[in-house]
Structures are given as C-alpha cells and as structure tokens.
Amino acid sequence: MAKFFNADSNSTSGMYKFGDVESGAMMTVNFKTMPYSNNKYNFSEPFLVYDMVAEVTHEGNVFTETLVSQEDTLKTKAVFVPWH
C-alpha cells in the first residue's frame, strides 16, 4: 500500500487503529520505518521502526504516549540506503 503514496517504498509512515467495544476506548498507533542493517554484511531485519506514537481516546480523555522516540533512535542508528 505504501508504494502508491511514497516514492521510496523502503521508508514509510503508517498507522494502526483499533478499539475496545465494551469500554469504547480507541487507540491509534502512528509509526515511521526506514531500511536498516546492523552488520557489515547488510543482512538483518529489513525495516527499523524509528518513531512510534500512540494516541488513546477513552471517555472523552485524549492522551499521547511515545513508544519509540525518533530522536533517541536516530542518535544511535545510521541511516542505511540499500543499493538497487
């Protein structure tokens, strides 16, 4: 799906939305990914989730929690650009 909206399908952003029927709580998880290799052979997991934020709505209360901080992740990881 991301390839229709993003020129570089290796790096994308997206969201999941789910909720609880009984309590009426809803949560939206927004995320951003990028290609990542953690060794010199360029072989590992294909994507790194470097930013993830959850927005929770329950009984009129809305709050946001940062699950994966973009600033903290990118301090320790270098951007990996695969050759095509």
pLDDT digits (tens, 9 = 90+) for 13-41: 888 899 999 999 999 999 888 777 666 55
pLDDT digits (tens, 9 = 90+) for 31-71: 888 777 666 555 555 677 788 899 999 998 999 999 988 88
Q: How many helices (H) and strands (E) does the chain have?
A: 2, 4
User: Residue 78 in contact with residue 35, Cβ under 8 Å?
Assistant: no
Per-residue pLDDT at 70: 85
Per-residue pLDDT at 7: 52
- On the question of pLDDT at 10 being above 80, the answer is no
Burial zone of 47 (CB within 10 Å; 0-12 exposed, 13-18 middle, 19+ buried):
middle
Confidence of residue 2 (pLDDT cuts 50, 70, 90): very low
